[in-house]
Amino acid sequence: MRRPTRRPPVPAVPATAARTAARPPCAAGLYRWDLKATPYAFIAPFFLTFAAFGLFPLLYTGWLSLHRVELGGEPEWRGLENYTGLADSEFFRNALVNTFTIGVISTVPQLLMALGLAHLLNYRLRGRGFFRVAVLAPYATSIAAATLVFAQLFNTDYGLINSALGLVGFDPVDWESSKWPAQIAISVIVTWRWTGYNALIYLAAMQAVPQDLYEAAALDGASRWRQFLSVTIPSIRPTILFTIIVSTIGATQLFGEPMLYGGSVGISGGSGNQFQTLSLLMYEKGWVTGALGQASAIAWVMLLLLLLVGGAQTLVSRANRKKQEG
């Protein structure tokens, strides 16, 4: 008896391919085009918005920095004249130094206090939810309100700070016209506003540290301070580096606090430019004196400084990663 011939199994056709084959050629082509183009359509609004309000102003500012531009006038090609003029400008060097000094005396205490606050909030304290909200309250306060209040506190004639210094035998300090006192006052405003924000960032990083590390350190006899130095700090090192970079960028772009603190002479950074930052100088060049080309050059110098900071962060991150892997 002859056995029936067995036919080879028919390979299964994927459902998508079956649906595509069932459609007419035109509809199948539209379907394939839709699958490929839909993701780009979803992300297109972001890139269009960035191109219109981010990329185009950036490139246009770079183009203006190579020209002499006055408000209401036609651009005149000057090449690198605006940049060489900045190198020879005492006002630019003064603003650059002020930006650096205010950034240092505001960033270092700010991050150290934020680290200490986060360490305290990481323990099981009563009402720690209230304290976590309380440390964020300064960040929620507007720059104008905070700066005006601190300007009254640091007032030379009737400010609370000088009154307190007089009670302990110190002479009144000119917090407005003197260079270092004015920069310290502005740094206090920045520190007060951003310490709680950075503290919550550190707190989130600390809560991600495995408890096994603390338990092992406690079994070895390590105190809480030793655990903080040997366990907490190394574990949140990437977060600390991130806050340093972000705070440095914010210090480079410092504008609102010194302008409002100086009052009528805030744009020029005080009567003697004692606390004028790069952002204030850029604003003064662009909208007070009308030299848009020089203001654009300052903006690009600030961008280059931020790129250098970002490059330094990348190098440090790679070095830490290699150290951990090694």
Q: Each residue of 51-64: pLDDT tens digit?
A: 999 899 999 999 99
For residue 3, which amino acid is it? R
Nearest to 196 by CA among 248, 259, 243, 232: 243
The per-residue pLDDT for 247 is: 92
Integer Cα distance of 220 and 25 in angstroms: 73
Average per-residue pLDDT for the chain: 86
The per-residue pLDDT for 24 is: 59
* Whole-number Cα distances in Å, 81 to 71, 88, 185, 308, 315: 18, 11, 36, 23, 33
CB-CB contact of 320 with 237 (8 Å): yes
Helix (H) or strand (E) holding 77: strand 76-77
Residue 124 has pLDDT above 90, yes or no: no
Average pLDDT for residues 279-292, to the nearest whole number? 91
What's the predicted TM-score (pTM) here?
A: 0.83
Helix (H) or strand (E) holding 68: strand 67-68
76: three-class secondary structure by DSSP? strand
Total residues found in the chain within this entry: 326
pLDDT band, very low/low/confident/very high, at 29 (cuts 50, 70, 90): low
